[in-house]
């Protein structure tokens, strides 16, 4: 996720190098440091923020079969430091701190004051950032790398993601994830959770909708745990209610699929991302690989609200709701594949002691058997952050009410667009008025 933001130029036009985020966020903190912090900037005023909601979202990240006891019992100590007053955002940066409940145990080892660590970690763990990080930054202690490379950092992202989810919910979007494969056990591809099924997914120890597959996955985790080994898997993220028009075809770094891929790929240990049925359709013929477009005439509703069943639709959802880097209004589908965790409870992976250059096995930092269910919650977070960013870019306003108005106006203006009327080639209409005003 790029963090190089230039903002708007003085003329009101996008600055020439305008790329990246309009909803910015920056995390800081080490795994065993005093606290993690995240600053989120660009949220509209008037967004409801509940500390309990934030705590619940962080708790979801800690759960999942195959995780260690620390994850199950440790509560995140969350404080909202700024940007929220009486439960609502006020347009200023929102800063959140997640304290480390084990800080007293780590205070000496992680102290920012001058001094020396008690013990240097000199046997870098294969499959982690340890060795490449030590070489890159000139460290002789792997802890200088692993403390920040650790997936503990995703707790800060999940906190930002809670805010993003609240924002997109106000625009009618919900992001749901579920585990579709774990340790080689694959769930029925036809079972996809809807937003109302999220509690059901979270109640599953492996966050899987398919109960047969769930049992096989749990057995696989038990078997791997017995041998001190680890497992990977695949998570599917579904975006419901994503309106047409997020992302753009005009630049490589504005394509929605590219932004989602980067967001998901940035999660520790995620090594592959798929949008829609990308890998399956690569072997199909073009005639079987795309989604046909149909027009359903809108039905006037008694309340005067927009009829969501009318308009342009796709008959299938192979593209995952994105064409040409733009959301189509169909279900958004993305998958993230996680490698088996690199730290093993029975370490066997060979490495070299960088102090002596002698062969050894890597040291063991606390580790899980699998973190695929938890990764799903982080994957939801990343997709929600991308959607919130793109929705802010398209519908952005200083207040939530303004953003909702902007989105409503855009959706209402779609009407039969594109049509001969809306493109201005066939007669007068709202779009012709806009052309007159701006010319």
Ligand X SMILES: Cc1cc2nc3c(=O)[nH]c(=O)nc-3n(C[C@H](O)[C@H](O)[C@H](O)COP(=O)(O)O)c2cc1C
Nearer to ligand X, 110 or 342 (CB): 342
Per the CB < 8 A criterion, the answer to whether 163 and 222 are in contact is: no
Q: What are phi and psi of 73, to 5 degrees?
A: -100, -25
Extract the runs of DSSP E, i.e. beta strands, from 305-403.
311-314, 322-323, 326-327, 332-338, 350-352, 359-361
Stretch of residues binding ligand X (CB under 6 A), selected from 95-103, 131-139, 143-151, 272-280 = 143-151
Among residues 89, 177, 204, 268, the one that binds ligand X under rule CB under 6 A: 268
* Cβ at position 73, least distance to ligand X in Å: 15
Helix or strand run (H / E) with residue 401: helix 400-414
Tell whether residue 123 is a contact of ligand X (CB under 6 A). no
Tell whether residue 151 is a contact of ligand X (CB under 6 A). yes
* Cβ at position 379, least distance to ligand X in Å: 9
Distance in angstroms (rounded) separating the CA atoms of residues 191 and 316: 16
* Cβ at position 277, least distance to ligand X in Å: 24
Helix or strand run (H / E) with residue 273: strand 270-275
Among residues 55, 149, 186, 361, the one that binds ligand X under rule CB under 6 A: 149
Nearer to ligand X, 60 or 128 (CB): 128
Q: Which of 228, 271, 278 is nearest to 375 (CA)?
A: 271
Stretch of residues binding ligand X (CB under 6 A), selected from 77-85, 169-177, 213-221, 337-345 = 337-345
3-state secondary structure 205-266: CCCCCCHHHHHHHHHHHHHHHHCCCCCCEEEEEEEECCCCCCCCCCCHHHCHHHHHHHHHHC
Token code pair at residue 83: 């940007």
Nearer to ligand X, 96 or 377 (CB): 377
Token code pair at residue 301: 């509703």
* Cβ at position 19, least distance to ligand X in Å: 24
User: Taking CB under 6 A as the rule, which mask of x and - marks residues 346-375 in contact with ligand X?
Assistant: ---------------------xx--x--xx
Nearer to ligand X, 94 or 375 (CB): 375
Tell whether residue 323 is a contact of ligand X (CB under 6 A). no
Nearer to ligand X, 65 or 395 (CB): 65
Among residues 206, 269, 332, 383, the one that binds ligand X under rule CB under 6 A: 269
Q: What are phi and psi of 352, to 5 degrees?
A: -130, 135
* Cβ at position 88, least distance to ligand X in Å: 30
With the C-alpha atoms ordered 213, 215, 216, 221, is the resulting torsion angle positive or negative?
positive
Per the CB < 8 A criterion, the answer to whether 237 and 334 are in contact is: yes
Tell whether residue 378 is a contact of ligand X (CB under 6 A). yes
Question: Which DSSP letter does residue 152 get?
Answer: G
Nearer to ligand X, 125 or 255 (CB): 125
Nearer to ligand X, 128 or 314 (CB): 128
Tell whether residue 121 is a contact of ligand X (CB under 6 A). no
Q: Give Cβ neighbours of residue 241 (< 8 Å, ≥ 6 apart).
A: 171, 172, 173, 174
Tell whether residue 225 is a contact of ligand X (CB under 6 A). no
Stretch of residues binding ligand X (CB under 6 A), selected from 42-50, 237-245, 267-275, 311-319 = 267-275
Among residues 78, 95, 171, 341, the one that binds ligand X under rule CB under 6 A: 341
Stretch of residues binding ligand X (CB under 6 A), selected from 114-122, 204-212, 261-269, 355-363 = 261-269
* Cβ at position 104, least distance to ligand X in Å: 22
Distance in angstroms (rounded) separating the CA atoms of residues 226 and 217: 14
Q: Which residues pair with 174 in a beta bridge?
A: 240
Q: What are phi and psi of 145, to 5 degrees?
A: -95, -50
Among residues 24, 32, 60, 128, the one that binds ligand X under rule CB under 6 A: 128
Considering only residues 32 to 61 of the shown chain, the ones binding ligand X according to CB under 6 A are none
Tell whether residue 31 is a contact of ligand X (CB under 6 A). no
The HSE-up count of residue 339 (CA atoms within 13 Å, CB side) is: 14
Tell whether residue 262 is a contact of ligand X (CB under 6 A). no
Stretch of residues binding ligand X (CB under 6 A), selected from 195-203, 214-222, 234-242, 262-270 = 262-270
Distance in angstroms (rounded) separating the CA atoms of residues 171 and 346: 48
Tell whether residue 150 is a contact of ligand X (CB under 6 A). yes
Stretch of residues binding ligand X (CB under 6 A), selected from 106-114, 146-154, 217-225, 318-326 = 146-154
Tell whether residue 234 is a contact of ligand X (CB under 6 A). no
Distance in angstroms (rounded) separating the CA atoms of residues 380 and 229: 27
Q: For residue 124, what are the CA distances in angstroms to 129, 131, 137, 144, 376?
A: 8, 5, 14, 11, 28
Applying CB under 6 A, which residues contact ligand X? 128-129, 149-151, 154, 267-269, 341-343, 367-368, 371, 374-375, 378
């Amino acid at each position: 996720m790029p963090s190089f933001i230039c903002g708007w130029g003085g003329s009101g036009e996008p600055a020439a190098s305008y790329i990246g985020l309009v909803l910015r966020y920056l995390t800081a903190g080490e795994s065993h440091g005093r606290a993690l912090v995240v600053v989120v900037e660009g949220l509209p005023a008037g967004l409801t923020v509940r500390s309990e909601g934030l705590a619940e979202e962080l708790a979801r990240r800690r759960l999942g079969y195959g995780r260690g006891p620390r994850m199950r019992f440790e509560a995140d100590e969350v404080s909202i430091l700024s940007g929220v007053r009486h439960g609502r955002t006020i347009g200023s940066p929102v800063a959140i701190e997640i304290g480390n409940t084990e800080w007293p145990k780590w205070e000496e080892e992680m102290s920012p004051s001058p001094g020396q660590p008690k013990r240097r970690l000199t046997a870098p763990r294969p499959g982690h950032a340890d060795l490449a990080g030590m070489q890159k930054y000139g460290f002789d202690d792997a802890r200088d790398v692993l403390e920040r490379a650790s997936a503990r950092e995703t707790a800060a992202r999940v906190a930002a993601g809670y805010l993003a989810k609240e924002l997109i919910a106000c625009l009618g979007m919900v992001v749901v994830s579920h585990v579709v494969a774990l340790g080689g056990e694959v769930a029925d591809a036809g079972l996809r959770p809807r937003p109302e099924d999220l509690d059901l997914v979270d109640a599953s120890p492996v966050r899987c909708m398919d109960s047969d597959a769930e049992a096989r996955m749990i057995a696989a985790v038990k078997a791997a745990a017995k041998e001190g080994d680890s497992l990977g898997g695949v998570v599917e993220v579904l975006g419901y209610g994503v309106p047409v028009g997020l992302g753009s075809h005009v630049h490589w770094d504005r394509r929605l699929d590219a932004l989602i891929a980067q967001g998901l790929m940035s999660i520790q240990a995620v090594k592959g991302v798929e949008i829609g049925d990308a890998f399956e359709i690569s072997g199909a013929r073009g005639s079987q690989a795309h989604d046909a477009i149909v027009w359903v005439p809108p039905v006037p509703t008694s309340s005067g609200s927009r009829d969501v069943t009318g308009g342009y639709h796709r008959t299938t959802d192979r593209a995952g709701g994105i064409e040409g880097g733009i959301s189509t209004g169909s279900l958004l589908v993305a998958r993230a594949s996680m490698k088996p965790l690199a730290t093993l409870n029975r370490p066997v992976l060979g490495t070299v002691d960088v102090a002596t250059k002698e062969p050894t096995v890597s040291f063991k930092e606390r580790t899980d058997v699998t973190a695929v269910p938890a990764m799903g919650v982080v994957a939801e977070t990343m997709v929600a952050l991308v959607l919130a960013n793109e929705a802010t870019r398209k519908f952005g306003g200083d207040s939530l009410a303004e953003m909702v108005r902007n989105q409503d106006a855009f959706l209402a203006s779609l009407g039969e667009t594109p049509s001969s009327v809306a493109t201005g080639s066939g007669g007068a209409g709202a779009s012709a008025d806009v052309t007159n005003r701006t010319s």
